[in-house]
Structure 1
Amino acid sequence: MTEMEENGERYRAPALDKGLDILELLSGVDEPMSQAEIAKALDRSPNEIYRMLDRLVRRGYVLRTNSDRYELTLKLFGLAHRHPPMRRLVSQSLPVMRRFAREAGQACHLVVYDRGSLMVIAQVDAPGYWGIAIRVGSHISMLNTGSGHVLLAYATPEERRLMLEEREQMPHEIWPEDLEQRLEQVRARGYERMPSQQTTGVTNLSTPLMGPGGQALAALTCPHLQRLDNADMPDQDAVLALLQACAREIAASAGGAE
């Protein structure tokens, strides 16, 4: 075997390498880059870069701004959530979520960002006859839900901008005038507690599943119902504490922050 083969270069794909070089470059910068800047950083000619950038834009991996600069979209982020690790996250989460439902007497669901909207990837019903259930696979509002506020709050400023630009418009969705202030409050206290914007009498309790880099892998949410027929149920503060403990446990099992 030649030295080139030993170095993993036996089967080269220059065009693929070029595209991956661009994606890796753009993933590591804070500001959009021009075609010339990308070519210079990769030590290639602008003509070499142009055709690859055009394909990446057409396939939705890169966005061309009005000032002819280029930045990553969240398509790769969305693809990552369709990968088997997301299924493992669900399998690791469900036993913990079931325990939460038993101890709290409330339903809960797990939400991730998915290509412009939020998607429910796991859900556990409350024990007994009463509870709020959201179907797995449902897409919910980014702006008017506790889950949305948590995922926006723990995104980087650039990720948040792209998430809001790419968001899927939901029926009756209203842009909160105090959105930035609310997101700051979520980051400061580590959770969201807000009246449901969809159902009267429900309080959304939402907390992040934190990854090792300080980003939110997902949001764990309890649509809390105050029961009048069972005085022995934990109060809302106790339910929130249980929810946060479960989120930390799930994140730790998924390799996130403890």
Structure 2
Amino acid sequence: MATKPQKPVLAEGLDQDEKYRAPALDKGLDILEILANQSGGMTRTEIVREMGLSPSQIFRMLERLVARGYVARSEGGDRYSLSMKMFLLANRYPPYRRLVASAQPLMDDFARQTDQSCHLVIPEFGTGLIVAQASPTSHWEFRARVGSQLELFTTGSGITLIAFQAPERLDETLKQWGVASPKLLQGATGDEIDAVRRQGYRIGASGQLVGVTDISAPILGPHGDATSVVTCAFIEHVDDKRAQKLDEALARLLTLTEALSLH
């Protein structure tokens, strides 16, 4: 009598990654990750060499990624690079709603503890977009309206966003954000950007309001680039003994952004 085939048993210690392998999906993800590190694109031969596989193993996967719009082929057809589709998917509003949901309670605590307001800024269409704001309990405050757009190269939030991007990818990042001429704009504030990066935050007089000092600190992603910035528009309260000093507000702001960073 024929015996019923036995189901394969996982070897002891085999982790879940091996248990649920999907080789075709793995190849596709490998291609995307390889291209993400190559700003100038790669030929099919270079991709094959990088992956250590035969051309036939990646040809169909590469063509499907092109057909679905995740990978773009150059006009001559010999080079492949990531399209904007990955960037657009990554920057749709749901991820930022999750960021706001995590940041808002911490920002509210900051506002109560320091008696200062603060706002959360992300890059959007060549500007900085305010997506969350927290107010102190006192009757004096500077309020940044949620939904307002800020200049990237003339505000504390924008300069801090730019300062904490990988220098070798800065022009490419600015183009993805919608900045038409990144090199032209970058030249005006290059020294300040370098100084902010070295310091780890930015403190400076507001370029928009007299008597306001902007304190801006980055929220970092897993690779060390700033995904967003929290800025405190610091106002000195002469008659309010509860209001904290600038250095105390800075310390609390850095603690806030560190708690939200993924590095």
Question: What is the aligned-residue RMSD (CA, Å)?
Answer: 3.9
The whole-number CA distance in structure 2 between the counterparts of 1:39 and 1:115 is: 35
| Aligned counterpart, 2:212 | 202
Deviation by residue 1:77-125 (Cα, 9 ceiling, x = unmatched): 4532436443332222111111110111111111223354332221112
| Aligned counterpart, 1:163 | 173
| Aligned counterpart, 1:23 | 32
Q: How far 1:186 moved relative to its partner?
A: 1.2
2:189 aligned partner, one-letter code? L
CA contact (8 A) 1:62 1:72 kept: yes
| Aligned counterpart, 1:185 | 195
The whole-number CA distance in structure 2 between the counterparts of 1:8 and 1:60 is: 22
Q: How far 1:169 moved relative to its partner?
A: 6.0
Q: Which moved more, 1:77-86 or 1:129-138?
A: 77-86
Name the SS for the 1:205 alignment partner.
Answer: strand
The whole-number CA distance in structure 2 between the counterparts of 1:249 and 1:240 is: 14
| Aligned counterpart, 1:221 | 231
The whole-number CA distance in structure 1 between the counterparts of 2:161 and 2:84 is: 14
The whole-number CA distance in structure 1 between the counterparts of 2:48 and 2:28 is: 12
Distance 1:21 1:210, change over 3 A: closer
CA contact (8 A) 1:111 1:118 kept: yes
The whole-number CA distance in structure 2 between the counterparts of 1:121 and 1:195 is: 22
| Aligned counterpart, 2:92 | 82
> In the comparison of the two structures, how many residue pairs are matched?
242
Q: Which moved more, 1:190-199 or 1:157-166?
A: 157-166
Name the SS for the 1:93 alignment partner.
Answer: helix
The whole-number CA distance in structure 1 between the counterparts of 2:142 and 2:230 is: 14
Unpaired stretches in structure 1, ≥5 consecutive residues: none
TM-score (norm 2): 0.70
Distance 1:228 1:7, change over 3 A: closer
| Aligned counterpart, 1:107 | 117
Q: How far 1:28 moved relative to its partner?
A: 2.9
The whole-number CA distance in structure 2 between the counterparts of 1:128 and 1:105 is: 7
1:150 aligned partner, one-letter code? T
Q: How far 1:216 moved relative to its partner?
A: 2.4
Deviation by residue 1:4-58 (Cα, 9 ceiling, x = unmatched): xx9766xx9x8x998756433211336543566446656548x9799768767xx
Distance 1:20 1:249, change over 3 A: closer
Q: How far 1:232 moved relative to its partner?
A: 4.5
In the alignment, is residue 33 of structure 1 matched against residue 42 of structure 2? Answer: yes
The whole-number CA distance in structure 2 between the counterparts of 1:249 and 1:20 is: 29
* Larger of the two Rg values belongs to structure: 2
The whole-number CA distance in structure 2 between the counterparts of 1:8 and 1:241 is: 45
Distance 1:83 1:178, change over 3 A: closer
Distance 1:249 1:48, change over 3 A: closer
Q: How far 1:226 moved relative to its partner?
A: 2.5
State the percentage of identical aligned residues.
33
Q: How far 1:205 moved relative to its partner?
A: 0.6
Q: How far 1:206 moved relative to its partner?
A: 0.4
The whole-number CA distance in structure 1 between the counterparts of 2:177 and 2:118 is: 24
